[in-house]
Amino acid sequence: MNKVANIRKSTSSMLNKIGPFKLVMISAAFIVSVRNLPMLAETGFQMIFFALIAVVVFLIPTSLVSAELATGWPKRGGIYAWVKEAFGDRWGFSAIWLQWIQMVFGMVTVLAFIAGSLAYVFAPALRDNGLWILAVVLAVYWGATLVNFRGLKLSGLISTVCLIVGVLIPAALIIILGLIYILEGNPSHISFTFTAKNLIPKLSDIGNITLLAGIIFIFSGMEVSASHAKEVKNPQRNYPLAILITAILMVVINILGGLSIAVVVPHQQISLTAGIMEAFRIFFTKFNLSWLIPILGLLTGVGAIGQVSTWILGPIKGLLATADNGDLPPALQKVNKDGVPTTLLIIQASLVTFFGLLFAIVPGVNAAFIMLLNVLIMLYVLMYIMMFSSAIRLRYSEPDVSRAYKIPGAKAGMWVISTVGILASLFVLFIGFFPPSQLKIESVLFYRMFIGTSLILMSVIPFIIYHFRKPSWKVEAKMHPKRKRVA
């Protein structure tokens, strides 16, 4: 009977695993979006240079390193498992904390984007209404949180539908219309001449340097789907494949979508602050398709909702993995019958609600929030430095671990790829101390002191939490009746 039960349990477990298609959809839902097309479009034909640099120095290193680490250590927790394996529990906990906390703040800006997109559908005047933004934060985030209580199966389905409806369809429409615009002989608003002046921006201009850092960050997040590696069918084969397809999808949508908008919309009418919906309005008006604007608002809002839903469970899975090690108190170790950390999800949703409340309705808080968001970006690249460093160390400390995908070139290849990623991360970290042009900063010194102090404080928090952990927390984790379901 025990043998039969074990076979049934094994079969059920395999049936609940994520296949290659769903893994691609989940991975793409983490990072592929149309929200950043205006930023790329504003750079004109130079977006090829900006995107190429971002792909070479950041997307390729993060993709390759993530693929090797995920196939060598396909454990629940992703970045936590990798850094822990390389540098120990304390640093592993710090890495997953950095990934998680940047997501909490980042989701507030995505939710504000959703509010703006949906406002185009119902009432454009609501775009900057604090109560409307707050209502969207509450409805979307708590709704997505409740959906994620059902586990990855339902969440993955929603991510897939939202990605197709809210990202792939709008992106395809923009790219196709841009191509039609050119083929009909209409004047392009950017030059396609292959000259150094047209292709390469002035890197002596701090504005271009800051823009490059922002574009590099567009290509972040590739490692997050590894937190689900334990739920993937044949992760050694399917995870690298999903990473490759996702990276190609991301590059194609960003480059071709950005070029389409740049070709059709005059440069002076593209605004980073107005966002994608304003770019859509100008773009579709050129084709006498203004009636599509509310529909595109709805679709892009749906796409962003899928991104929110996907991010909700990603880093949380990493935090849950720390509970097995006793890094979290028993109250935060609770999971439901689907293996979902309900208490952690409720705390996460509460934090997003709190920051969303401040961002939406407290006068004068927007600038401070954007400054803090900049800190979170810098904290995120600190996590990437830890990830690249872990990959190098594990090549030496655990060379015999089987890795289905391995960065070519032996140790030298790992050093080259990881060093490029580390240098790119340090570049973003350095640029973070220069105020973006969108912020009206009266004192650059105050800005840098705020950034530096916040960076130090938020980096120290995980070490403080780790320091005060108790041995009984690990005992509780081992005794928890549902821990084995998600191990």
> What is the pLDDT at residue 485?
43
Amino acid at position 103, single letter = M
Judged by average pLDDT, the poorest of 1-10, 302-311, 370-379 is 1-10
For residues 253 and 269, the answer to whether their CB atoms sit within 8 Å is no
Say which residue, 136 or 478, is predicted with more confidence: 136
For residue 343 the two structure tokens come to: 């208490």
- CA angle 376-382-383, nearest 5°? 95
- What pLDDT, on a 0 to 100 scale, did the predictor assign at position 200? 86
- Tens digit of each residue's pLDDT (9 = 90 or more) over 78-88: 888 899 999 99
Per-residue model confidence as pLDDT tens digits over 46-90: 889 988 999 999 988 998 898 889 888 877 678 888 999 999 989
The residues facing 232 across adjacent strands are 18
What pLDDT is recorded for position 3? 44
- Region 208-215: mean pLDDT is 81
For residues 289 and 285, give the distance between their C-alpha atoms in angstroms, rounded to a whole number.
6
Residue identified by tokens 């289905």 is: 404
Q: What's the pLDDT score for residue 416?
A: 96
Best mean pLDDT range from 5-19, 25-39, 174-188, 207-221 = 174-188
Contacts of 74 (CB under 8 A, 6+ apart): 229, 230, 232, 235, 236, 239
Residue 468, pLDDT > 80, answer yes
Q: What is the pLDDT of residue 7?
A: 36
202 band by pLDDT with thresholds 50, 70 and 90: confident
Mean pLDDT of the chain: 81
Q: What is the pLDDT of residue 229?
A: 61
Percent of the chain whose predicted confidence (pLDDT) is above 70? 87
**Cα separations in angstroms, 49 against 33, 254, 287, 324, 350:** 20, 13, 29, 45, 41
What pLDDT does 279 receive?
77
Neighbours of 265 (CB within 10 A): 25
Choice between 433 and 419, residue whose per-residue pLDDT is larger: 419
For the whole model, what pTM was predicted? 0.83
Read off the pLDDT of each residue in 450-470 and give the average, rounded to a whole number. Answer: 87
pLDDT at 392: 96
Please give the pLDDT value at position 83: 94
Rounded Cα distance, 7 and 12, in Å: 9
Q: Which position has the higher pLDDT, 173 or 316?
A: 173
Nearest Cα residue to 149 out of 324, 15, 345, 318: 345
Distance (Å, whole) CA 353 – CA 135: 10
Q: What is the mean pLDDT of residues 140-167?
A: 80
Between these two residues, 202 and 142, which has the higher pLDDT value?
Answer: 142
Helix, strand, coil share of the chain (percent; to 5): 75, 0, 20
Cα gap 21→242, rounded to integer Å = 8
Of 367, 355, 310, 369, which Cα lies nearest the Cα of 138? Answer: 355
pLDDT at position 477, please? 52
Q: What is the pLDDT of residues 260-275, one digit of tens each?
A: 888 888 877 776 555 6
381-407 pLDDT, tens per residue? 999 999 999 999 999 999 998 887 889
Between 256-270, 312-326, 448-462, the lowest mean confidence (pLDDT) is in 312-326
Q: How far apart are CA 460 and CA 98, in angstroms?
A: 10
Please tell me the least confidently modeled range out of 125-139, 179-193, 270-284.
Answer: 270-284
* CATH no., domain 18-486: 1.20.1740.10
* Res 487 pLDDT > 50: no
pLDDT digits (tens, 9 = 90+) for 328-386: 777 777 777 777 788 888 988 998 888 888 877 776 666 777 777 788 888 999 999 99
- For residue 414, pLDDT beyond 90: yes
pLDDT of residue 113 exceeding 70, the answer is yes
